[in-house]
């Protein structure tokens, strides 16, 4: 925490101050009427009001003061526990900052969930709010909870967001480091497996969904949000709205997938704005429903590859690159921001590897050739001996 900064948060009916440990300022806070020290969260709280706020600002004269007014109209906060006040105050602030910075609904939900977990850990740890408790929390997450790297990375992103944009504690968020990234290759289905899978799908609705994902390379979260007008049959194009990173893009649409889409429309006649409506009126189909259906069909088709519905997207990219399609075009269709993300598919393609012979095969082939040559010589020598016997 910056020793020269005082953070003031204003939930309804209370004032909260956050600052680095300083016995002089602690003594000043203790003298303010109605002050209360919260050991768990390591902060002071006071009754709300303009006079109290003015007095606090006077006590911190000469220091940089950051005041958060975003909670002035939030619901009243119960004073059960210091950390409860802290969490609820941070939660409402974080919500608004996430919205103002343009984060998607899913990202907002995930970040808030991680911030809440950190808040509960802070409550139990009885430690000061700062870099040390953040590092301890992440170490606990990584070692004791055995969190997978992707989950751990999201936790890191959430805490970086919290300390950078909500608490504005530069020293803390800069100290949070990410682990070295994993370099895992995507799972890819063979063309034969894709064909078996699609033929095993009997339901016209899900057949259209899976064909669109594989033929266009879209994410399942993008497939469920498709609208009828996103299908451009004349140009053989598919429009993706509000994709990852809140970006729109166009990708290709196959003739076969277009026919599957037409068959689905004729059979189901979907109403409303969503191409694939869910059970609840006005809601689209959930990604979870598609994932469950994928597993059922994959089992029926006897797909041995450890595949998920996202594997269809991986297979789309890999099969295009194997056909020699320019990597830049594939990047645009997938909606990747960086070309390096798309390049990973070059490591699983078979076009360049198919012509390379394993040294084991070459050794055995050499051995087989030697045996054949020996057999031929023996036959020739035997034939020559027989001719001498005749003469």
Does 145 score more than 70 pLDDT?
A: no
Query: Does the structure show a pLDDT above 60 at 387?
Result: no
pLDDT band at 77 (very low <50, low <70, confident <90, very high): very low
For the segment(s) 5-175, the CATH number from 2.60.120.260, 3.90.1300.10, 1.10.150.130, 1.10.1740.10 is: 1.10.150.130
Convert the pLDDT of each residue in 268-313 to its tens digit: 999 888 999 988 888 899 998 999 999 999 999 999 888 999 999 9
Active site residue 304: no
Catalytic-labelled residue, pool 310, 351, 371, 377: 310
Rounded to two decimals, the pTM is 0.58
Q: Which of the following is catalytic: 219, 225, 284, 319?
A: 219
Please state the domain extents for the chain.
5-175, 191-347, 359-391
User: Is 350 in the active site?
Assistant: no
Q: Tell me: domain 191-347, CATH 3.40.50.880, correct?
A: no
Concerning whether 235 is annotated as a catalytic residue, the answer is no
Both structure tokens of 257: 């997938």
Reply yes or no on whether 214 is catalytic: no
91-100, 164-173, 214-223, 327-336: range with highest mean pLDDT: 214-223
Contact call for residues 297 and 200 (beta carbons, < 8 A): yes
391 in catalytic set: no
The pLDDT of residue 44 is 77
* Three-class DSSP labels, 178-223: CCCCCCCCCCCCCHHHHHHHHHHCCCHHHHHHHHHHHHHCCCHHHH
| Active-site choice (244, 249, 250, 268) | 244
Q: CB of 341 within 8 A of CB of 317?
A: no
Q: Catalytic one among 114, 160, 313, 319?
A: 313
Compute the mean pLDDT over every residue in the chain, rounded to the nearest whole number.
79
* Mean per-residue pLDDT, 86-102: 82
Percent of the chain's residues with pLDDT above 90? 27
Structure token digits, residue 8: 């003031």
Give the residue-averaged pLDDT of 362-391.
Answer: 60
| Cβ proximity of 319 and 329 under 8 Å | no
Q: What is the SS3 assignment for 275-296?
A: CCECCCCCCECCHHHHHHHHHH
Residue 345 annotated among the catalytic residues of the structure = yes
Return d(Cα 157, Cα 112) in angstroms, integer: 11
Q: What tokens does 183 get?
A: 């370099």
Nearest of 133, 11, 6 to residue 84 by alpha carbon: 11
Coil, strand or helix at 350? coil
The Cα-based distances of 118 to 123, 369, 384 in angstroms read 9, 67, 89
Count of C-beta atoms within a 10 Å radius of residue 165: 15
Between residues 350 and 239, the one the model is more confident about? 239
| Catalytic-role residue among 28, 95, 116, 336 | 336
What pLDDT does residue 370 have? 67
Phi, then psi, of 83 in degrees rounded to 5: -70, -30
Q: How far is 17 from 66, CA to CA, in rounded Å?
A: 10
| Cβ–Cβ < 8 Å for 16, 43 | yes
């Amino acid at each position: 925490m910056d020793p020269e900064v005082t953070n003031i948060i204003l939930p309804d009916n209370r004032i909260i101050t956050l600052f680095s440990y300083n016995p002089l300022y602690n003594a000043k806070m203790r003298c303010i009427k109605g002050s209360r020290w919260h050991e768990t969260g390591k902060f002071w709280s006071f009754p709300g009001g303009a006079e109290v706020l003015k007095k606090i600002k006077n006590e911190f004269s000469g220091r940089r003061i950051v005041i958060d007014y975003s909670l002035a109209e939030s619901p009243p906060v119960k004073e059960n526990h210091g950390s409860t006040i802290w969490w609820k105050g941070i939660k409402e602030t974080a919500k608004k900052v996430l919205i103002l910075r343009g984060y998607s609904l899913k990202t907002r939900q995930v970040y808030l969930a991680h911030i809440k977990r950190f808040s509960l850990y802070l409550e139990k740890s009885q430690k000061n709010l700062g870099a040390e408790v953040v590092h301890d929390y992440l170490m606990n997450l990584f070692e004791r909870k055995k969190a997978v790297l992707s989950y751990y990375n999201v936790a890191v992103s959430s805490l970086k967001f919290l300390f950078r944009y909500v608490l504005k504690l530069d020293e803390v968020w800069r100290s949070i480091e990410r682990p070295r990234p994993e370099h895992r290759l995507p799972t890819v289905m063979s063309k034969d497996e894709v064909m078996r899978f699609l033929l095993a799908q009997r339901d016209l609705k899900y057949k259209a969904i899976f064909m669109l994902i594989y033929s266009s390379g879209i994410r399942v979260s993008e497939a469920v949000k498709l609208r009828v007008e996103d299908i451009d049959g004349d140009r053989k194009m598919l429009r993706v709205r509000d994709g990852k990173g809140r970006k729109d893009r166009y990708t290709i649409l196959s003739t076969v997938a277009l026919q599957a889409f037409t068959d689905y429309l004729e059979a189901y006649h979907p109403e409303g704005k969503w191409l694939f409506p869910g059970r609840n009126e006005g809601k689209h189909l959930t990604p979870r429903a598609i994932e469950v259906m994928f597993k059922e069909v994959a089992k029926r088709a006897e797909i041995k590859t450890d595949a998920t519905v996202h594997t269809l997207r991986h297979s789309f990219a890999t099969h295009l690159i194997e056909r020699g399609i320019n990597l830049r075009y594939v990047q645009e269709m997938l909606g990747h921001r960086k070309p390096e993300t798309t390049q990973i598919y070059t490591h699983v393609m078979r076009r360049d590897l198919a012509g390379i012979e394993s040294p084991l095969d070459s050794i055995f082939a050499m051995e087989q050739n030697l045996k054949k040559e020996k057999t031929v010589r023996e036959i020739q020598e035997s034939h020559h001996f027989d001719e001498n016997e005749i003469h």
